[in-house]
Amino acid sequence: MQLQDILYSQGFGTRRVCAGLIQQGLVQVYESNEALAPVECRESATEFVAEGLRFRVQGVDWPYHEKAYVMLNKPTATECSQKPSTHPSIYTLLPSPLRLRPQKGAVQGVQAVGRLDQDTTGLLLLTDDGKFIHRMSSPRHHVPKVYEVTVKHPLTEVQVQKLLAGVVLDDDPKPVRAAACEAVDTHHLRLTLTEGKYHQVKRMVAAVSNRVEGLHRSQIGGLRLPDDLPPGQWRWLSAADLASISA
C-alpha cells in the first residue's frame, strides 16, 4: 500500500494532505519491528506492507491498525455524543486521527460502543468496526459489564438479594436481574449486568429503596479498566484485550 494511502486510512487527512505531510518530511517509518529509530520518507507513493507497520507523523508514533479498537477511562462531566448539550464530548479526549478515520457512512472516526451517562465514569470502548459495535450492543450476546456503585444509604442483604432475584422497572413488567451483586462495604455495591436498559443501574438501585450517588464501570467481559490508565486517557486494545471481552 502506498504510504499516502496508509496515512489516509489512519485518519491523517485527505490523500492530498497526507501526500503533503510526507513531502514536507513530517513522516518517518520504522523499517522493522526491531528498529529503534524511524527513517524519513519523502516519496508519498512509496509502498509498504501496512499490517504491523509503525510510523511517526509530526513527532508522534503511530501503529497501523486496519480497524481501530481503543479503550477510554471516561471522566465525569463528559458526554458520549458527537453533539453534546451540556458537557464536553468524550471525542475531544481523542487525538485527531482517531476522530477522522475514513468511514463509508456519514460519520467519520471511532464511535463509542454503547454510552455512559455524563456523570458515570470508567471503561468505555470505541471503534470504527461496525460489526464489533453491533455484536457488543446486541442483547443476544449478553456481554457482562461490572459497575462500582456508590449508594446514598447503607446497603442491606435484603437489597442485594432483591437485585439478584429481579426488580421491575416502570417501562417493563418483566423483572430485571443482576447477573452478580455484592456489597463490597456499607455504601459500595458491585453490580454485574448483561443488558443495557436506559439508566438501568440507577433505576434498579432505586427499585430497592436506595439511590446511586456515584457510578463507575470497571469491567466489560473479561477486560478490566487498567489501574494505570488515568481518567481522560485512552489506549489501544491488544488482541488479548479483544479476546478477553468475549471470553
Query: How far is Cα 230 from Cα 44, in angstroms, rounded to an integer?
Result: 37
Q: Residue 28: which of 1, 7, 49 has the closest Cα?
A: 7
Q: Is 117 a catalytic residue?
A: yes
User: What pLDDT shows up at residue 92?
Assistant: 97
Q: Which three cell numbers stand for residue 29?
A: 517509518
Gyration radius of the chain over CA positions: 22
User: What pLDDT shows up at residue 145?
Assistant: 95
User: What pLDDT shows up at residue 71?
Assistant: 98
Q: Residue 96: which of 35, 3, 21 has the closest Cα?
A: 21
Query: How far is Cα 25 from Cα 57, in angstroms, rounded to an integer?
Result: 9
Query: How far is Cα 84 from Cα 70, in angstroms, rounded to an integer?
Result: 21
User: What pLDDT shows up at residue 195?
Assistant: 85
Query: How far is Cα 82 from Cα 88, in angstroms, rounded to an integer?
Result: 9
Q: Residue 126: which of 1, 6, 241, 7 has the closest Cα?
A: 241
Inter-CA distances, 21 with 5, 28, 101, 116, 247, Å: 12, 10, 16, 36, 41
Q: Residue 109: which of 88, 95, 123 has the closest Cα?
A: 95
DSSP class per residue in 73-128? EEPSS-BSSSS-SSS-BGGGGS-HHHHH---SSSS-S-EESS---TTEEEEEEEES
5, 61, 117, 172: which one is catalytic? 117
DSSP 3-state of 27: strand
Beta bridge partners of 54: 63
pTM of structure: 0.93
User: What pLDDT shows up at residue 59?
Assistant: 95
Query: How far is Cα 186 from Cα 156, in angstroms, rounded to an integer?
Result: 8
Query: Average pLDDT of each block of 10 consecutive residues along the chain (247 residues)?
Result: 97 96 97 89 96 96 97 97 93 97 87 94 96 84 93 98 94 89 97 89 96 98 97 97 88
DSSP E strands: which ranges in 13-86? 27-29, 39-40, 54-57, 60-63, 69-74
